[in-house]
Structure 1
């Protein structure tokens, strides 16, 4: 079923709902492309001299599935530096609007982020000057910045608005002050009420993919974002083995089926390859006439992707595979996908895809890979 325009993969679904979903997908946008949205990857950057701000930044990063970056001073602050009204280092810096304490390290991929949560403690009513250093170190034009601060008694005051001129091209949202010891649920309540941009990386990836793809119901094929045509209908070979598998694949090809789907987990890649080779010889088909899909499985296969991919190619023995999928999400899925991309470069794989990935997994996965998957193959039972 659809809820808030998202497909719930675990819910029961009726044929009418499937038809409605397909109708709205095909008719909602005549260009065939989703409407663009603003926003992108999220970074939570924070400075925490006494570890009061750190837990809140970690909560925010976890809630948002964001990257976390600690602003670390090149010259760490000592207790004496932080002692109020002693003319110590912090006092002197806060009294000098031009002070810019050096930061150890940089955010090397700042261009990847469109939303930045910026956390800091309140020092003499303002953000520490090292926050000024951070903001002036990057081009933040067009990015959305949301400040949050910690203090024992002071409010946020003008500490957030005083920062605006340091990144005048950014879109600043109103900041929020939190007391030390604020709970994760309090942070979640605040974040859930923010008007954040939608993740652009996912939208851009889908837009790019669909702009190159197109269904042709006369030829019963779809042009993938890789430029190759894939038949809409095919034979899945799960549970087929031995001669039964060989005969089933050959019978399907003789009947006009041109897509054959297998996987390492099915344990029948050798039989599928044999059937395709024999059908080519017996039916006069060319290799380009048959679209073969296979998949590598989580665990040891994705942990050693180059070896696993080559093993698939060897078992099929068809020269190349038309499409290779990652069978399920896995802690090594990005590593495995990047290995498949290398095989695309040398012509051994023509198109890439995913299997059993849903919205949350896609939002996390897509920004990490340069080649947009041509297919997301998910199991749906409409009846």
Structure 2
């Protein structure tokens, strides 16, 4: 009996030692494969059955990144221990937030625009409170979610949009019985929404010198990294500046008729966005400048060849002009902004839209600018995109000088 106990004890110690050794090896391996993006978020490069994978760890904290990387390399869920037991008490009865999200997505959100954004928001919220019962989502839990989003480095606008998704889902819970045919809603009251102080609007308008500097820096990065997509990024930035389109609109410009498509009419190249593909769901057509149309010709030819080759080999391939994901475009922009220096901290892709519409507003009637921008109301153009400088008032005083004598 005593011998058996000794053997069992040594066996447990040996297993524990092996587990500790494996954990240490995984810790070293995880650290070697960790990489920090320009945005500060850590990513992990690893292989699964011979296939290379790249996973965003969703944190700027190195200690937390290491722990998550270790769990991934061990085949565990990296998000499993994200919430503290005190803040989130997991229960098995009742309708969970995940079940609510699944219901709301299938019944209400499956066919709406911005699917990538919706699914991303739901995934993030699910990792926080997905296993909770809907009735357990209290004011305190909402505040905890908000704090965690802010701790990840999200700006106030991003935090607000993610909480919007949660509150919209909770509103649907006021009229849903959880599928049990009782007619009794699973939620009687939506938690109070925390106040989020909105950050200052980024209304930066690029001067001609700043525009030249931006494209010069992109050219330098392209020369230094010819294997990367800096050439395509340069064309994307030129497209945004010359059209005033939103980034989401530019990235859906297509070489077929599925979304935004390039067409030639009246001696001009146009980009046209069908109904329900724009922010206000209205169709829109814009003529391209001659410089932009000429700059895009080579890219159009390259993309047509890539698409034809993919079809020939039965490989699924995007038919969009730029063939870039939103996250990829944002990563390249973060690298470019870092190269340009701290003065560019408040410049984003949308700044190119601001610049384009502001330049038009100085020369073109405002209702035409509003139509170009795709706004449903000219007041939106006036309030958000027209940035006149003090020197622009000189024309007013010149008119008075000529009249009041």
Q: TM-score range by the shorter chain?
A: under 0.3
| Higher relative contact order (CA closer than 8 Å, sequence separation 6+) | 1
TM-score relative to the length of structure 1: 0.24
In terms of fraction of residues, the more strand-rich structure is 1
TM-score relative to the length of structure 2: 0.23
